[in-house]
Chain A
Amino acid sequence: MKHTDLPTPISALAAALALMLSACSVAPLRNEPGAVEAVMERAAEQRQGPLRVRASVPGEEEAERIFGIPIYDRDIQPIWLEVTNDSDLRARVILASIDAEYFPPLEVAYMHRKRFSKEGWMDLERYLYRNALPRRLEPGQTVSGFVFTNASQGTKTFNMDIYYARQPPEYEQFTFFIEVPGFQPDHAEVDFQSLYEESAITHTDNDGLREVLEQVPCCTTNRDATAQGRPVQLFFVGSGRELLRALLRARWDETSYERDEQYLAGADYLFGRPPDTVFRKRRGKTTERSEMRLWLAPILVDGQELWVAQFRHFIGRRYAIGEMLLGAQLDPDANDGRNYVLQDIWYSQSLQHWAWSATGKRVSKDSPELDFNGYPWFARDSYRAVIWISGKPVALTDATSMDWSRLEKETTSGSRP
């Protein structure tokens, strides 16, 4: 007897219901194991010490052909990995380092059992079990197989730690960013090289940036620049590639909004255009989410790109239907969002330096401003956060602040003690 027993009438009802739903399927497993070839061929390769890892992620259609099951429908994303151990020690792949909530192969098979006859299900079990990535590697050995992870949208980002059998423990860490077929992120459609004429670009350094940021408007506008939108609270210094990786490491998802007329008419504008790219982060429910809108600025800081960001946090609607009927709501507290993003980048180890730029707009919570959609916002202080992105992971204790302005608390009436 495992777990709890339910009172009999209820269990009987449940059993009857389940029986109705699970009317046995008789289909055998029909998968095309050969379809994995294309996935393997495009694998990205990395070396760390005597270890070599190749990684690739099948898209939705590829996965369905390989496994014979619509695995993405269950929000499961397989990663194909090949590990070569050229050391003279045994090694162990830490599956939980790839995804702390990965799915073992027999669980994936069990989830899909109802599609198949008993033999079909057992074939699926056998196929997934045999093609799962083993944890252990002998010296000189190469192993390969799949790890079943929780699906994410867009570029697949994951770490992989491999330990040597040695005392004290030593390991190699791999970080992969892998494009997945079937998804085109919005930033792939923007030609960043041709956004600005060379003559329109301001060149500056870290110190000069402090003044240059005054050029960047406090807030976005509507399409024809007749009404103010919401504040831009953050700046990122770093290449597009570094910023992309930092956001992916912080578990932000890429998006692919279609830039149709409806989108263009309602979008926030900065530098005369809608966001170059939008990232999204979810808490689980679709209504509990945040978005980051990013624009490339016509400013280079010691040759590095400067990005302007607006963070917006959706609140107040528990269900998607509420958003449809009543409209989305945004957290009016612009500082809270700014503080969140700074910490988010910090805790995902991408924060090298930060500074406070007193170039924003202070708006008391007692008299909030309205954006062009009529949604309120306020900012208790006028500071915008400037974040220098690090391509390599930075320990929490190693991030440092630039000596610009000291962040001051709101001093107007109504401030908190």
Chain B
Amino acid sequence: MKRYNPGLRWARGLAPWAFALLITACGSAPVFNQIPEGDYRERIQTQESDRIRVSAAVPSAKESEALFGRRLYREGIQPVWLEIENRRETSVTFLPVGLDPEYYSPLEVASLGSGKPPSAENLVDRFFIDKSIDLMIDPGEALSGFVFTKLDEGTKAFNVDISGRDAEADRPTFNTFTFFIPVPGLNIDHYTVDWRNLYAEDEWVEPDKDRLIEEIEKYVCCVTDKSGKNTGDPLNLILIGMPRDIYTAFIRAGWDETEAITKGTMWKTVRSFFSGGEYRYSPISSLYVFGRPQDVAFQKARENIHERNHLRLWMSRATYQGLPVWIGQISRDIGVRFTAKTITTHKIDPDVDETREYLLENLAYAQSLKAFGYVGGVGEVSPDNPRGNLTGDPWFTDGYRLVLWVSSKPVPISELQFMHWRLPPFSEEPGQ
């Protein structure tokens, strides 16, 4: 069997800065798992295609305050810095709606909450106009400036769409540049996972398809508490992909990363609990599989902290076609409940299959899926006789685990494959 070490690839692919920092930060400040902060220009990413060069960077909360003299993050506004260089013979146009359909106009940012009367002196703010980026870029020109977007604190994922004209072929051109830019300021959980030492070298297995199905159907049905004695929510997901694929797939589908539990994040959670406001990166309590808490968690917030989907993943010892296989659990919070044991907890939708199928649609429509299928392993639990999770919420299921082969590169739905692993009662294939 080929020696396989996903940790190294993860280190190369996802978080080189985090690892670099781990090494360089020795003996300096104790904030070892954050991205360095101070000058956003040190984090510029550049892409080039079709003689258009796009550079992008995202200032953090502190950097934005220094740049604009305002606490823009507090107001839910995040500036994105762009530089667009046009090396063509015809002009091109940048389309900010493609970056954020709800972007803020510069003068809106300038005047938001100013409390001033709407006079010309107050409203026509030269500073913000000059900081914003022009949409039209003439041949040979390089323009830079800011677009003001809705706030995403963990990783900023966005497209830069450029419309133009191919003069020779006399047809319109449309180029999309996709960026995933980590923003400093949060203690994201997966920054600190030591992927290299999750398993000893001789523990890894790389089974073929049939053996893999056997292996993952043998994994425990459900998460447990720390003692391993009490079982909770069903493990209804299997993911296949490199850490980088998983990260990109979920960010593209609108999921947020999760902060590690610290005093600061605890306080943020309490604050948002009482204000009902958003804390999209709120730490998630630990559930256990393979004797350890989740390796990585994602969440998808809706209107407030009480309504969100949670997803926890554990890297298994198995790999399939050279890619790590993960086991996971997804639940949809439908409200806050009070319990004797933990005082407050999130009430989950008991129909966990509904949440599972939602995830399939969500990832497929975000073009984050290469293939999907089903395996057993949870065991059927009927709605009339539901089981309970660790906080006593009922759940029921058809007993199947959804297998999701995720992709970093966008995969159109027309190319999404169904894997004939196990066929649940309502299989995707007729007559079987």
Please list the residues of chain A having a beta carbon within 8 angstroms of any beta carbon in chain B.
Answer: 1-8, 10-12, 14-15, 18-19, 88-90, 92, 94-97, 100-101, 104-107, 110-111, 129, 135-136, 139, 165, 167-171, 283, 313, 315-318, 322, 326-333, 336-337, 339-340, 343-344, 346-347, 365, 368, 370, 374-376, 378, 396-401, 407, 409, 416-417
Contacts and interface: CB of A to CB of B under 8 A. Distances in A.
Nearest to B261: A4
A165 to B, nearest CB: 4
Interface stretch (B195-203, B280-288, B313-321): B280-288
A96 B118 contact: no
Given A100-B365, A332-B124, A313 B430 contact: no
Contacts of A316: 108, 111-114, 116, 118, 123
Contact of A396 (B129, B136, B143, B174): B174
Contacts of A416: 129-130, 134
Contact of B111 (A315, A346, A399, A400): A315
Interface stretch (B24-32, B55-63, B213-221, B342-350): B342-350
B362 interface: yes
A6 B98 CA distance: 39
A1 B343 contact: no
Contact of B426 (A90, A129, A344): A90
Contacts of A3: 282, 284-285, 310, 333, 344-346
B259 to A, nearest CB: 10
Contact of B270 (A6, A92, A374): A6
Contact of B418 (A8, A167, A343): A167
A135 B123 contact: no
A89 B413 CA distance: 18
Contacts of A407: 136
B105 interface: yes
Given A11-B343, A110-B334, A1 B361 contact: no
Contact of B430 (A89, A171, A332): A89
A329 B108 CA distance: 9
Contacts of B168: none
Given A5-B285, A326-B115, 17 more contacts: A1-B342, A2-B287, A2-B389, A6-B269, A14-B344, A15-B344, A90-B426, A94-B361, A96-B365, A107-B334, A167-B417, A316-B116, A328-B118, A339-B135, A396-B174, A397-B173, A407-B136
Contacts of A346: 95, 97
Nearest to A90: B430
Interface stretch (B14-22, B44-52, B351-359): B351-359
Interface of B: 75, 95-98, 101-102, 105-108, 111-120, 123-124, 126, 129-130, 134-136, 138, 143, 161, 165, 172-174, 225, 261, 266, 269-270, 273-274, 282-287, 302, 310, 331-336, 338, 341-351, 354-355, 357-358, 361-362, 365, 383, 389-391, 393, 413-418, 426-430
A318 B104 CA distance: 13
B358 A169 contact: no
Q: What 8 pairs across the A-B complex have the smallest Cβ distances? A: A11-B343, A343-B97, A316-B111, A376-B120, A96-B361, A315-B108, A107-B334, A318-B113
A107 B358 contact: no
Contacts of A171: 413
Max count, chain B CB within 10 A of own CB: residue among A7, A96, A313: A96
Nearest to A94: B361
Contacts of A322: 113, 115
Nearest to A340: B97
A104 B349 contact: yes
A10 B345 contact: no
